[in-house]
A and B are shown apart, each in its own frame.
Chain A
Amino acid sequence: MNFLKAALLLAVSALVMIAIATPGMMLAQGADEQMLLHPPADSWPGYHGDYSGRRHSSLTQIAPQNVKNLALAWAFQTDQIAQIKSSPLLVDGILYFTVPENIWAVDARSGHQIWHYIYPRSQGEHIGHRGVAMYKGYLFFVTPDAHLVSLNAKDGTVRWNLQVADATKGYWTSMAPLIVGNRVLIGVSGDFDNLTGYIRSIDPETGATQWQWNSTPPAGTPNQTTGGMTWMTGTYDPDLNLVYWGTGNPTPVLKGSTRPGDNLYTCSIVAINPDTGKMVWSFQVSPHDTHDWDAVETPVLVDADFHGEPKKMLMQTSRNGYFFVLDRTNGKSLLTAPFGPVNWSLGVDEQGRPIPNPAKEPAPDGRLIAPDEGGMTNYRSPSFDTRNGLFIVDAHPSYGIYFAKPADGVYGWAGADYGVWGKGVIEAIDYQTGKIRWSHEVGPEGSGAGVLTTDSGITFTGDAQGNFLALDSSDGKTLWHAGSGSHIVSSPITYELDGRQYLVTSSGGVVFAWAIPQA
């Protein structure tokens, strides 16, 4: 038998085997409801992978024993200066990732470009973009001028384009939408104006608004806050039929004088019924915030024992420096504990909420605050390692100085703040106690890398100098690294294609796929 024949036979039998093993996977179907509810190993169909926000994979081919051999499978250059902050989606063997006004569709096996969509240059903030969402064969993409664009995943052609917020008022959009059933959930950004934050549910077929939930009252309501932007992707519990979303800080940002009280529902975790848009419960992680510490960090859903009792939990390492564990059926606190230096609170109240210290509000002569405005962590994803029961986060112990005076006004930022010092530490938090089981320093100023854990016992992340890292999830020791040549400001994903596990990371404007070399 000659070589070609042998190869052909091999290929055909492989195809047959795949067809038998995974019926229905031969044709591109897009991201249907079953895929979103139970993502197969050869997919990463939402921002967080699955709905839980755990960013934990059951894949084990890349393991502590062989990860030292991990090598580049391919790299993709966007040829753009914009940093990749998005998490790619993977559906039907194609990766989709973004920077503001750009989507790329790339072959997940080879890294070659299938199409590249460019949105017309628009007004609004171009600060970053977190990625697309997929419903069936359609992509959903938000823009700096606060439009939602729906595209055909096959070729990147536009189906429709609608405005979801008014960019002339100061809104912009940068988040990856969340698909729940036949709903596209989007959130908005806008900290430089006194604006109302909201989540909007949009029909993926028609673009019609299904409902809108506002986090704060309309601008101009006396003694009420504005803000509560919804600029990161929430999570979803299909059994409880609740969507969990973190809301942003109040506005004016650094000055609280015109917005007395707690400023609901800013800096909160809210549970929303996706069928009605009604809030079922809320938990405020920073009452009356004056430090820009939004609570949009991933609300991670974990089912496990808590102090001996099985619980449906929600966990968040929040920008304000506290780790929260809630009962996600009702929003009641199970644990509140700082995960680094925090000097702005007077302790924790009976409901598990930190009590802000009025003496630590920004002042004309400055206040030294821990953490700094970037916070103890930020938008990059943490991971819950189900194997070791550890919540693993890229933490940022830090100090900043905060100023506010009458001349700063009561609109938008309304003050000034400056980072003083910070560093990056990957921390593994025991969720039952809040104690830090292990920590791994990742450099001055801090790393911008998110975290992915796998069942084989690896924690993938990165350091401040741009090294991708594989750590042992049980003790934080380094198992593998690769210098990337730029800052890492995204969270890793993993998938398995053709029996081969890939790790996908990005830094600067380059996407890297890694795998164990094959003979």
Chain B
Amino acid sequence: MNFLRSALRWSLLFAAPLLISPAVSAAQTSTHSSPAPSRVKQSGAAVPEAYPPALVQSGGSLFRQNCSFCHGRDAAGGESGPDLTRSKLVTQDVGGDKIGPVVRNGRPAKGMRSFDFSEQQIAGLVAFIHTQQNTALRRKGGRKGVDASDLQTGNVEAGKQYFDGAGGCATCHSPTVDLAGIASRYQGLELEEQMLYPKHAKSKVTVTLASGQTITGTLEYLDEFTVGLIDSTGAYRSWRTGDVQYKIDAPVNAHVELLSKYTDADIHNLMAYLQTLR
């Protein structure tokens, strides 16, 4: 597979066993022209909707041709693409209002291309993906994919020791400051991925112009030829790398350095410890 696609893993926020989002029971405002799914409400919680079988089938066919390589034929994960049956975005989607834009626009930064599908085709994909998620959610136990319960093999005390000692985590992080409540914000696989390498972490950059003036901001773009930042006013500014000097402060690189040092037990222990920080 193309490793650009492996970058896709953050493209849809997926989480451990999902609650049916309140958004599902919110009024449907979708404008698509497909047959609207029937909806039944029960004591405030939405029951998974049923889509017309023909729509699900056509969506499944399109999914298989265009999406299944990365997301799996059953939408439960393929070559590195996220498991859509565990996707928070899918759970929160109402009639394609969240899935549609992702499909149409892609997530270029994460390696997902865009698709120029018609309204009807998107409606089919939406019906198929929701149907797959609903089927998966109804399954009690023995579910494929990564559950939070799979990630409980570590030792809390050993994890704390690693955090304070060999791992060097305490150099930058504190369980009572930035990591307070981290296990409430992220669970299961999402927490583990954040722990191993927080992809959304921003770096700082200080650019020194030929005049001697310095500008510090959030690193927004960098290749061999151009450095770009968001300055303190929120504006994007860029320079040719040959015209300036720049210094990047990327504390996230400490996570990269750990990758070659971790044992699998270190990771499991660290997970056990982080999961106590609710």
Residues of A at under 8 Å CB distance from B?
81-83, 85, 122-128, 144, 191-192, 292, 341, 343, 359, 363-368, 370, 372-375, 378-379, 396, 398-401, 403, 405-409, 412-413, 416-422, 443, 445-446, 448, 463-465, 467, 478, 481, 486-487, 489
Contacts and interface: CB of A to CB of B under 8 A. Distances in A.
Interface in B236-278: 255-256, 259-260, 262, 264, 267-268
Interface string B74-88: 000111100100000
A81 to B, nearest CB: 5
Of the listed residues B5, B152, B225, B267, the one surrounded by the most CB atoms of chain A closer than 10 A to its CB is B225
A422 B65 contact: no
15 contacts: A364-B153, A365-B264, A365-B268, A374-B1, A374-B3, A400-B80, A406-B142, A416-B144, A416-B146, A419-B3, A419-B7, A446-B4, A465-B223, A481-B225, A487-B108
Contacts of A467: 223-225
Interface residues of B, number: 54
B260 A420 contact: no
A83 B151 CA distance: 37
The A interface is mostly helix, strand or loop, or mixed, namely: loop
Contact of A401 (B3, B68, B73, B192): B192
A415 to B, nearest CB: 9
Contact of A418 (B68, B72, B80, B262): B80
Contacts of A401: 192-193, 196
Contact of A407 (B78, B79, B144, B225): B144
B61 interface: yes
Contacts of A375: 3
Contacts of A359: 264
Contacts of B69: 125, 127
Contacts of A463: 223-224
B3 A446 contact: yes
A382 to B, nearest CB: 15
A445 B3 CA distance: 8
Contacts of A370: 259-260
B146 A420 contact: no
Given A123-B65, A365-B153, A465-B223, A374 B2 contact: yes
Contact of B2 (A128, A364, A399, A481): A128
B184 interface: no
A478 B224 contact: yes
Contacts of A365: 150-154, 264, 268
